[in-house]
Amino acid sequence: MEIKTRFKKTPIGEIPEDWEVVRLGEIAQKIKTGPFGSQLRKSELTNSGIKVYTQDNVLRRDFSLGNLYISPEKFKQLKSMEIKPGDILLTIRGTVGKAAVVPEGVEKGIIHTNLAIIRVGHGVLWPEYLERIINDSEIILRQVHAARSSTTLPALYAGTIKRLKIPLPPLPEQKKIAEILRTVDEAIEKTDEAIERTERLKKGLMQRLLTKGIKHERFKKTELGEIPEEWRILKLREVGKLSSGKPRPSKICENPSDSCRFPVLGGNGILGYTSSFLIEYETIVIGRVGEYCGAVYKVPPKVWITDNALYFREINRELNLDFLTYYLSWMNLNRFKKKSGQPLLTQSILYELKLAVPSLSEQKQIAEILSTVDRKLELLRKRREKLERVKRGLMKDLLTGRRRVNCVD
């Protein structure tokens, strides 16, 4: 059953009537910034001893990282900066305003110069809720940007951190909010792991299929390495004819419409939409200059291709378009670019490259296997995008009280 909520106006915006607005300094047991230069010199950092935690641990949310240590004697001097499980570590210089909760079982250690410890009383403020408020709430982000030092290197100080205002729901609600958001994060993490596994599978399949093929028993040695006996080696000039794209159209729309319905493609994908097309057939595009030099992708009919890219205006009938796309991607064409000046791939460079080519029927089989993996990757990436949208909506609603949760302490 939905909880009906009445709201009140506060200095940080509207929040539920039963929530409070508090300053961190009023409820934190401890707010302590890391050692400044004279307290911890570079010469005092060692390869063993008591660990020193840095911003990298917070930004990557991994407390196993790092190889900075101090001696037990130095630790005694800086013991007030020792971290404990449940502490929130906050980045306070350079990258400002990112937080992570110190997990159980963490190695004994202190914070480095660019961090602060916020230690809270668990009976009033739940650490994971505070981490969420700092990382994911516009309320804190606005205060951090307004309060940080205006020096060349952005910074927060202990006094500033103590004055930060946060919305404070009842403790059971804090725990439930943190639990819900953690569940979504875990789903995103599992999806990321599935994407990574599938990408590794695809990489391994490409290496095997594009060099050994399918069910071959006899191989021959060539300038490209050992390949199936039945395969041929062709130069790219024998595979097809390349052309450069044309300058960008004078009018490009950000989104498609009746008057701008044809994609404009650069070295690595869609730049926008325009009213006319350069080619009306399916083909392969290769980024030829700059950041996306060597990028390869297949494009549908009726697109405009800019002069940042090359495209096949003709392809040998004995070549399958999908197979050729996978093969050229696997070749990593960027490594063949001109090395002086701006990165550049020319037709003359590409035409001399050699490919190991199976029969047309085997090309189609190889392309279908790899396409199946790509379809799985596409589904996983769409799932991740959906989870991210769900998370953004939940953060916006839960951290402002627009959506309330039923909870039992």
How would residue 148 be classed by pLDDT, with cut points 50, 70 and 90? low
Residues 6+ apart with CB under 8 A from 399: 132, 133, 136, 137, 139, 167, 177
- What's the confidence (pLDDT) of residue 131? 94
Q: What is the Cα–Cα distance from 89 to 76, expressed in whole angstroms?
A: 20
> By the 8 A CB rule, do 236 and 348 touch?
no
Tell me the three state secondary structure of residue 106: coil
Q: How many helices (H) and strands (E) does the chain have?
A: 11, 22
Q: What is the Cα–Cα distance from 237 to 245, expressed in whole angstroms?
A: 18
> By the 8 A CB rule, do 110 and 75 touch?
yes
Residue with the bigger pLDDT between 241 and 153: it is 241
Dihedral of CA atoms 293, 295, 297, 301 in degrees, nearest 10, equals: -10
Tell me the three state secondary structure of residue 336: helix
3-state helix, strand, coil in the chain (%, to 5): 40, 25, 35
How would residue 150 be classed by pLDDT, with cut points 50, 70 and 90? low
Indicate whether 152 pLDDT > 60.
no
- What's the confidence (pLDDT) of residue 269? 84
Indicate whether 156 pLDDT > 60.
yes
> By the 8 A CB rule, do 148 and 94 touch?
no
> By the 8 A CB rule, do 97 and 142 touch?
no
Which residue's entry shows tokens 């300094």? Answer: 25
How would residue 3 be classed by pLDDT, with cut points 50, 70 and 90? low
Q: CB 134: neighbour CB atoms within 10 A?
A: 24
Tell me the three state secondary structure of residue 172: helix
Q: What is the Cα–Cα distance from 146 to 135, expressed in whole angstroms?
A: 16
Nearest CA among 32, 9, 27 for reference residue 19: 9
Q: What is the Cα–Cα distance from 113 to 89, expressed in whole angstroms?
A: 12
Indicate whether 241 pLDDT > 90.
yes
- What's the confidence (pLDDT) of residue 1? 43
Instruction: State which amino acid sits at residue 163.
Output: R
Give per-residue burial for 183-202: e unless 16+ CB within 10 Å, then b: ebeebbeebeebbeebeeeb
User: Residues 262-283: what's their mean pLDDT?
Assistant: 92
- What's the confidence (pLDDT) of residue 147? 64
Which residue's entry shows tokens 């002086």? Answer: 340
Q: What is the Cα–Cα distance from 80 to 24, expressed in whole angstroms?
A: 19
Structural domains in the chain? 20-168 (3.90.220.20), 170-221+359-409 (1.10.287.1120), 232-357 (3.90.220.20)
Residue with the bigger pLDDT between 296 and 408: it is 296
CA 7 to chain centre: 36
DSSP at 26? H
Residue with the bigger pLDDT between 371 and 405: it is 371
pTM score, two decimals? 0.83
Percent of the chain with pLDDT over 70: 97
Sequence length of the chain is 409
